[in-house]
Structure 1
Amino acid sequence: MIIVCCRVPVELTPLGDWLGEVADDLVIVTSAERAAGYQGAAREVVAVEDYSSTPDVIEVLRHLCRRESVTAIVHVTEEDILRVAQVRAEFGIPGLDASAALAFRDKATMKAQVSGVTVPAHHTPTDAADGERFAERVGWPIVVKPRFGYASTDVRVVADAVALRDQLSDRPYDDLLLEEFVPGAVFHVDGVMESGQVLWACPSKYVDTPLAYLEARPLGSVQLDDGPLAERLVEFADTVAATMPKTPWSMFHLEVIEHADTKELYFCEVAARLGGGHIPQALTLRTGVNPARAWLRQQSGLDPEVEALALDGDRFGFLLVPPKSGRLLGIEEQPLPDYVCEHHVDVTLDRTASAAASSIDTALSYIVTGPSETVVEQRLAVCAQLATTTLHWGEER
């Protein structure tokens, strides 16, 4: 039996098509809201009522592993990495092991593990006073983040002791990391690694930063042109992969900050998974290979059907426009430029929305193409302007 843990909508991960050769041996563990979409894609679909509950998901996985022999447990999103690794270890199932999974999930362990690159000063405080001493030592502002978070959820930049005490008042200290604030542009490198080596990588630049959602600003990303910066980022990824725990063939997502003044590259974080947002879609358009499909097939023991991935030709970028707090009163259809490859409206009329809670919460999204990163970035700016007249928000009733 092969188990796939996947809460992603079937439209993005059509497991029945991607893993059709093993459908008769496949069990999909998913959330209650996604289960109906996967019916017929596998011999069994198990719905977990509260998929966010790690104990609930682990108990389902243990039950399946006790029931019959399991050859693979496949993880897709960040929340499944640790719990799937734990069950793999308990039942002797191959894949990313528990110690490696921890290093790729716990940002404190991760920053202690990586070497050969510049890492921001960081600290796991024991109380507010301890946190203030760290901030005074490295200088304000500092970054407050959960050790096990993702998609920039609950990440804050605080400027003084009062704001820091406010942030620490209701956070668990065993899931807390304080970090030196590094000003500058944020980049991401996405690709495939195996046994400490990068097999393939695509460097990109965030337009704005992943914390843009805190001020209801769009978050974008643009694939970089070939050149010295792109080369530096790929070399940086090589160094990180070589010093992190060795993994099976795996997608990775690395975030890097280029200091605004010194231009030195700083390690932010690395994950043993696909990047979020529309990174997979942009990579698919760039290479002709869907990285999610390849990765899921590989974890399932199938041929990922990936040759050397070509990165020639046009660049691609995406824009995620966050929802506003209030009620959506109107959606105005806009004529789209021909360079828009994909456009999605992720909210419905008369819906009451809250402000974005993470960097990947969206109301509108666009994927565009162009002959260079500069042109793509300019075209994303046009889409950002279009977005301002597409959705009409009003007061919550």
Structure 2
Amino acid sequence: MPVIPGDKIDTLMTILCIASYEKGHEFLRESKRQGASVVLLTSLSLRDKAQWPLESIDEVFYMPDDNHHWDLPQTLNAVSYLARTRDFDRIVPLDDFDVEVAAALREHLRVPGMGETTAHYFRDKLAMRLKARESGIEVPEFVHLLNHGRVRRFLESVPGPWVLKPRSMAGAIGIRKIHHADELWAAAETLGDRQSHYLLERFVPGGIFHVDTIVYEKEVLFSIASGYGRPPMEVSHEGGIFTTRILERDSDDARRLRAANERVMAALGMVRGVSHTEFIKGVDEDHIYFLETSARVGGAHIADLVEAAAGLNLWAEWAKVEVAGGKAPYRPPEPKQDYSGLLVSLARQPNPDTSAYSDPEIVWRMNREHHAGLIVKSARAERVQERLDNYARRFEQDFLAYVPPKEKPTNWCSVQELAGHTKVYLPCLTRRHLQWLGNRKPIAKPLPLDFGLLEIHRKTDGTAGGPQIVEALRSVLASQALHTFQFQHQRVLHEDVGKAFPRTVALVNYWKESFDGRRDAPKAEFSQSALADVVEESRHPRYWRPQR
């Protein structure tokens, strides 16, 4: 019997995974292996690009996004609508930018897991520093870019240079080194009303380290310390080869870093999950300072680095932690004691060839356009370091390219060429530039309401516009104002839809044909307005089917 939304499925639980970027394939696979029903909510801009492991996903939903940013009220409404026919037992963010969205959804739906206050400690660089300092953890001196009097006193008392950091970006995005007070005030003037979203911190020259962790019921069950080659901010701003390596486990630095990480996890309130935490050890001082942390798996293929050395996959272990949920015992597998190193470079070539790198220590090769990357593994840490040093020099000659740092995360454009026509997904902003198929001239006209868009992607052999479709639309709009729907299948629409919602719904067909499949069909006469939210696709033939 086909599975229908709302039916009780014989699975352990239902996990909703939030992914504004393509991340966490192994989390999805392991969740399915653990017997869970896996629901993925991801960015609409990823629909034709991401290579999700669909065999491990039960349903896929797409949120309209503005460069991977989702409107939070729309997301709450969309997930709440899905929850009418699904019981979400866990809500898991697969990217750093999704941590606060997932926390807001948990609070709103009252789903167990990290709430908004704790999530801020793992996303907001100001909040995590304040909490760490209150708990006696050493951090570089900092000031919130808010009260100008306090900022002046900071500049007078803390010698430069300083680092200007956005509170909620990821990695080195938006970070800027400041050398003089005048430079800071000029930067603040440029930020305008965004000043309060930044902090200023003393620049500490030194080595940058990271500790990657599994926590279960407030106990750190696994942690491994690694050291970057050049600091990530330096690589981002000046170019070069990104490298990191597992530290010798019994070294003084590794022991101190793991101990500092445990204090950070306890202070910030990590109950269960995974974390990637960064520290700095000053060149001229013996202090280890806390820099920042996160409630997710480290990016830049650090999970692959850890797996090569320890034999466990952080994404898969995180899935096991979520399934156990504090109600069942969990222990990670006994880690191996090997060492590994990672190096990644932007490449001049579209598809760089690393076949000339053929040493037996190589266990992983990067497969991404304009990127070259390798992971090496050995039983000896010094051998890993030798290989990294050698490969970094060769990468500079063979591949290295440089792109100036980004002020905000970017990926591909939201404007796509589709069957010879331009297609624009509307950002959820107060003003929009709407561009219709076959017309490349933008219409700068704000839509009357700010609910975003609902796009429904459907395949059906049933009667177009049959009662089930009209009833579904009626239920969606029962408590809503005006909405705009986009249908991407020519057989979904029917004149009964217009009769059901006279003067309230605008139906926008994104195929080249008009509503009834003919190019010369008369345009539907509905009032135009904006809407919210979600495109549904699923593996189940009775209702929604993802494109494979």
Q: TM-score, normalised by structure 1?
A: 0.85
Shift of 1:333: 4.8
Does structure 1 residue 264 correspond to structure 2 residue 263? no
Question: Bigger CA drift: 274-283 or 301-310?
Answer: 301-310
Whether 2:97 is the aligned partner of 1:79: answer yes
What CA distance in whole angstroms lies between the structure 2 residues aligned with 1:319 and 1:49? 34
From 36, 43, 51, the counterpart of 1:31: 43
Deviation readout 1:279-322 (Å, 9 max, x if unpaired): 1001111222211011023224588975353242x210111213
Which residue in the other structure is 1:386 paired with?
A: 394
Q: State the partner residue of 1:63.
A: 81
Query: In structure 1, what is the equivalent of residue 210 of structure 2?
Result: 188
- Give the alignment partner of residue 176 of structure 1, picking from 198, 202, 209: 198
Structure ID, larger Rg: 2
1-side partners of 2:42 and 2:351: how far apart?
Answer: 33
Output the aligned Cα RMSD.
2.7
Deviations 1:147-193 (A, max 9, x none): 11111111111111233234323331231011111111111111112
The one-letter amino acid of 2:332's match is E
1:210-260, CA deviations, whole angstroms, 9 ceiling, x for partnerless residues? 111211111211101122221111111122222222x33211111111111
1:371 pairs with 2:379: yes
Amino acid in structure 2 at the alignment position of 1:49 = P
**3-state SS, counterpart of residue 13 of structure 1:** helix
Matches within 5 A, 1:211-360: 211=233, 212-225=235-248, 226-245=250-269, 247-301=270-324, 306-312=331-337, 314-322=338-346, 328=349, 331-336=352-357, 337-347=359-369
**Inter-partner Cα distance in structure 1 for 2:298 and 2:397:** 29
Retained in 1: the 8 A contact 2:345–2:400? no
Equivalence for 2:173: 153
Q: What are the superposed Cα offsets for residues 123-162 of structure 1, whole Å, 9 maximum, x if unpaired?
A: 1122667534422221110010011111111111111123
Provide Cα deviations, 1:5-29, integer angstroms capped at 9, x if missing partner: 1345478437246414546x32111
2-structure distance, mates of 1:140, 1:338:
46
User: Greater CA deviation, 52-61 or 104-113?
Assistant: 52-61
CA distance in 2, matches of 1:330, 1:153: 25
Does the C-alpha gap of structure 1 residues 388 and 254 become closer, same or farther in structure 2, counting only changes over 3 Å? same
Alignment-derived partner of residue 62 in structure 2: 47
Give how far 1:106 is off.
1.0
For 1:327-379, what per-residue CA distance to the aligned partner results, in whole angstroms no more than 9, with x for missing partners?
x478455411222211224225xxxxxxxxxxxxxx22111123333332221
Q: Which residue of 1 aligns with 2:111?
A: 93
Among 127, 142, 162, the alignment partner of 1:142 is 162
How far apart, in 2, do the equivalents of 1:148 and 1:166 lie?
Answer: 21
- Whether the aligned pair in 1 keeps the contact of 2:241 and 2:400 (CA below 8 Å) is no
Bigger helix share? 1
1:113 corresponds to which residue? 131
Query: Which deviates the most, 328-337 or 229-238?
Result: 328-337
Detail structure 1 runs of 4+ shifted over 6 Å in the superposition: 302-305, 392-395
- Shift of residue 60, structure 1, vs aligned partner: 2.8
Match of 1:351 in 2: none
SS at match of 2:265: helix
Distance 2:112 2:402 in 1: 52
Correspondence for 1:360: none
Which segments of 5 or more consecutive residues in structure 1 lack a partner in the other structure?
Answer: 349-362
Distance 1:77 1:93 in 2: 19
How many residue pairs end up in the alignment?
375
Q: 1:66 to 1:319 in 2, by over 3 A?
A: same
SS in 2 for 1:19: helix
Q: Distance in 2 between matches of 1:234 and 1:391?
A: 35
What is the CA–CA distance in structure 1 between the aligned matches of 2:46 and 2:292, rounded to whole Å? Answer: 29
Kept in 2: contact 1:201–1:234 (CA 8 A) = yes
Conservation of the 8 A alpha-carbon contact between 2:15 and 2:90: yes
In the other structure, the counterpart of 2:475 is none
Alpha-carbon spacing, 1:17–1:260, altered in 2? closer, same or farther (3 Å): closer
- Alignment-derived partner of residue 17 in structure 2: 4
CA distance in 1: counterparts of 2:397 and 2:136, whole angstroms? 47
CA contact (8 A) 2:206 2:283 kept: yes
Q: 1:261 to 1:387 in 2, by over 3 A?
A: same
How far apart, in 2, do the equivalents of 1:381 and 1:286 lie? 18
Aligned partners of 2:28, 2:217: CA distance in 1, in Å?
27
Question: Partners in 1 of 2:216 and 2:163 — Cα distance?
Answer: 31
Change (3 A) 1:11 1:199: closer
Secondary structure in structure 2 of the residue aligned to 1:262: coil
Identity across aligned pairs (percent)?
24
